[in-house]
Structure 1
Amino acid sequence: MASLTVVSHALLGALLLPPLLNLLPIVAGAAVIRRWPRAGRLLLAFGVTLTYLLSIPQTAIWLAQGVERYPTIRPADLSSVDAIVVLGGGKRQASEYEAIVPGDDSLARLRYGAYLARHSHKPLLVTGGAPLGGVPEGEVMARTLQQDYGLTARWVESRSSTTLENAQLSAPMLKAAGATRIALVSQGWHLARAVPFFQRQGLQVLPAPTGLIRYEGPAFMRYVPSGGAMRNCHVLLREYIGLLYYRLRPGA
């Protein structure tokens, strides 16, 4: 059964994020341009400009600077931690495998978590429920760790629906085993929101970012629209909204 919290957040995000964010002024401009030509043209121009800005790598780079707050680490930096926590980031139906597999974000996190675990010999916790129904992400991640990386997760948290719940439900499992110092693995843009949640559960957190927003090629290509840059802008804006939401939400 889908989480009402996750569904409501998704619906609100649809209104506040691309593509509706930039399509609405275009639609509004087209609707009023005959009656109010100047206002219509301004709305159309604003919508087109916003569409361009939210589809270029340079905007993603600017946005990332505000949320990618933590430097990358090396396995040697994990000498003082008790466990590695990998946050779920989605799953998908893979017909070629006839199975549910980790989504792109989850897979990037799992790969880095496995890399750190192999080189540091620290135990792994994977966390993620089934906010939209189906098999919990934690179980999918644990299976993938075993099948693809030959690693067994010591803890599997599979009831959470949000990043906040990842922290709330994972912390007791870790503390019961005496693990209070963790390396937290997720995309760099996600850790700005995730790290405080785990710290508030009484854990010492070493951020372990992966998937940092970077682009190759000549500088002028940063101003050429692309689908990848559009996705990155969407994800980064969502994180800004998430940070604002939890800052305003009492007790979060």
Structure 2
Amino acid sequence: MLLRYVIKQLLMPPGGLLLLLLLAWCWRRRWPRLALGCLAVGLLGLWGLSLPVVVQHAAQALETEPALLPQAWPGLKDRAQAIVVLGAGRERGDPAFGGEDQATGVALQRMRYAARLARASGLPLLTSGGLHYGSPPSEAWIMARSLQEDFNLAVRWQEGESRTTWENAVYSARLLKAEGITRVVVVTQAWHMPRARWCFEQAGLEVVSAPMGFLGVDNARPLGGWLPEGKALWQNGQLLNEMIGAVGYRVFY
């Protein structure tokens, strides 16, 4: 897992683009044209991926599942038997919480939405997410604790073994099928929802999609989002990772 993490960070933005800039510097005398090409791709890539307008249009290509509108929430109990919330990493040892690990902001968004769905429908909750780089506690446990303490909602199941979206689906299905549950609401980011839905369906579950955190809406930035910003670079990295994952999953699984 460590090797996989290192390779991924070196190849995905901004790592891969910074490597191109480094190569441009190293090759500037020996292969000046190649160095110029690396410089151009690296700089243009960093600029393009830092634009909110690129986030907006890239997200629109991924966010193909429609939103689950509030008027449909109470009727979920007739369409599904449980709500599955997918993990999204954790933050290590926050002093503000006594040094305890916390869910990331993305995971917190998912929990907040899942809490609303659970209250409206009365469906039980399952949190799914394994150990972050092999160190406890699991993402599932952190989310379950937060849902209990911050949203006053008990989590019935915790799936704390998974490391990927595929494993989220496989291990969650194993827990749920043991209790005769085959129809689930899956909560995750809108750009992640198509791949998540596919994984859960491959695991033998019927899925009601509950996408949230849409990025393909009007970015509301000055000049239409054509000014670079750090947040957009991170978001575009997530979207690019999802595009690669969407293709890779259908090849390897």
Both structures adopt the same fold (TM-score exceeding 0.5)? yes
Q: 2:229 aligns with which of 226, 230, 235?
A: 226
2:82 aligned partner: 83
**Which amino acid in 2 is paired with 1:234?**
G
Question: Would the alpha carbon gap of residues 9 and 71 (structure 1) be closer, same or farther in structure 2, given more than 3 Å must change?
Answer: farther
1:241 aligned partner: 244
1:20 aligned partner: 15
Cα distance per residue 1:48-97 (max 9 Å; x no partner): 11110010011112221222121110314523111110011111122101
**Which amino acid in 1 is paired with 2:102?**
V
Query: In 2, Cα distance between the equivalents of 1:153 and 1:115?
Result: 14
- Establish whether residue 29 from structure 1 lines up as the match of residue 19 from structure 2: no
Query: In 2, Cα distance between the equivalents of 1:199 and 1:205?
Result: 7
**Which amino acid in 2 is paired with 1:161?**
R
2:95 aligned partner: 95
Query: In 2, Cα distance between the equivalents of 1:202 and 1:108?
Result: 27
2:125 aligned partner: 124
Task: Indicate conservation of the 8 Å contact 1:33/1:40, yes or no.
Answer: yes
Unaligned runs of 5+ in 1: none
Task: Indicate conservation of the 8 Å contact 1:13/1:238, yes or no.
Answer: no
Task: Indicate conservation of the 8 Å contact 1:131/1:160, yes or no.
Answer: no
Cα distance per residue 1:82-115 (max 9 Å; x no partner): 1110011111122101122111121111111001
RMSD: 1.7
Structure 1 SS opposite 2:196:
helix
Structure 1 SS opposite 2:240:
helix
Task: Indicate conservation of the 8 Å contact 1:94/1:100, yes or no.
Answer: yes
Count how many residue pairs are aligned between Structure 1 and Structure 2: 245
Query: In 2, Cα distance between the equivalents of 1:191 and 1:13?
Result: 22
Tell me by how many angstroms 1:218 deviates.
4.9
TM-score (norm 2): 0.91
Tell me by how many angstroms 1:180 deviates.
1.1
Task: Indicate conservation of the 8 Å contact 2:82/2:124, yes or no.
Answer: yes
Deviates more, 1:161-170 or 1:215-224: 215-224
**Which amino acid in 1 is paired with 2:214?**
L
Unaligned runs of 5+ in 2: none
Tell me by how many angstroms 1:28 deviates.
1.7
